[in-house]
Every structure is written in structure tokens, then in C-alpha cells.
């Protein structure tokens, strides 16, 4: 059985290349998603970064940079790994960022709504940063 998924997006008045270049650099993660990522540092493992969150330490492994706008990553915390699909799409002269939020097994509807609100806030933060 497939998990329930919520697709969240934000339109950004910035070119798809500018948006992708910012979003695909993990060093920027704490700038646009400060509710989740308090700090981030590179590890010795390719494309894997150590994240300090308000709930403790996590690791994020990002896909290789690409020309398709894919910024997917896997976040591992407390031995649980969550897949985060994240895309940057062209939208006229601007861009669209699409974040797919999967309801995890044993996750309540209330917790899903909390995660959804947090992601929406982060996407608005991303928009504000890139439209300055």
C-alpha cells in the first residue's frame, strides 16, 4: 500500500538556475530551513552532511548535482531514514519549488499537519531569501 503524500510548492521570482544553484548547495540548508536545520557540516562521505536539529543530530545525503532540478535527499535520524523528493522547475522566467511530504508509517494525521506547516514555512523562507 502506498503512503499518503502531500505536494507542497512555492513560486519564486528568480530564475530556475539561480534557485537550483542555491537549493542544491547543502551549506544553504540552514538559511532556508532553520526550523529543521540549526547547523550543517560536511562529512567525509560523499554528498552526506551532518545536521544539528532541534531534536538532535541527523544526517542528510543529497543526490549529485544535475541538470534536471532534482534536489532529492535522504535524512537519517535515530536509525530511521526518510526520503525527501525536492524539485526545482522552470515557471516562466521564475521557478517553482516542489516538496513532496510522505506520511510516514505510524505517523498521526496531527503530526503530518505539523510537518506540512513546517515545510510551508521553510518554503516561504526560501522564497523570501531568493527574492531579496
List pLDDT tens digits, range 51-103. 999 889 999 999 999 999 999 999 999 999 999 999 999 999 999 999 999 99
Under 8 Å between Cβ of 22 and 28 = yes
* Helical residues (DSSP H) of the chain, grouped into ranges: 16-23, 29-32, 109-130
What pTM was computed for the model?
A: 0.92
Write the CATH number for 40: 3.30.530.20
* Amino acid 123: pLDDT: 97
Average pLDDT of the segment spanning 22-47: 94
Q: How far apart are CA 73 and CA 48, in angstroms?
A: 9
- Give the total number of structural domains in the chain: 1
**What are the DSSP E strand ranges found in the chain?**
5-12, 39-42, 48-53, 56-62, 73-77, 80-84, 86-91, 94-102
**Model pLDDT, residue 54:** 85
- The domain in which residue 22 lies consists of 5-130
Amino acid at each position: 500500500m502506498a503512503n499518503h503524500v502531500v505536494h507542497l510548492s512555492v513560486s519564486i521570482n528568480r530564475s530556475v538556475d539561480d534557485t537550483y544553484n542555491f537549493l542544491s548547495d547543502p551549506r544553504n540548508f540552514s538559511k532556508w530551513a532553520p526550523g529543521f536545520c540549526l547547523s550543517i557540516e560536511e562529512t567525509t562521505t560523499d554528498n552526506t552532511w551532518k545536521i544539528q536539529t532541534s531534536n538532535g543530530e541527523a544526517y542528510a545525503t543529497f543526490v549529485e548535482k544535475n541538470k534536471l532540478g532534482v534536489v532529492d535527499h535522504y535524512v537519517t535520524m535515530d536509525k530511521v531514514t526518510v526520503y525527501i523528493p525536492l524539485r526545482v522547475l522552470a515557471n516562466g522566467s521564475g521557478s517553482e519549488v516542489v516538496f513532496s511530504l510522505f506520511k510516514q508509517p505510524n505517523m498521526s494525521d496531527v503530526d503530518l499537519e505539523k510537518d506540512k506547516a513546517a515545510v510551508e514555512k521553510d518554503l516561504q523562507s526560501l522564497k523570501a531569501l531568493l527574492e531579496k
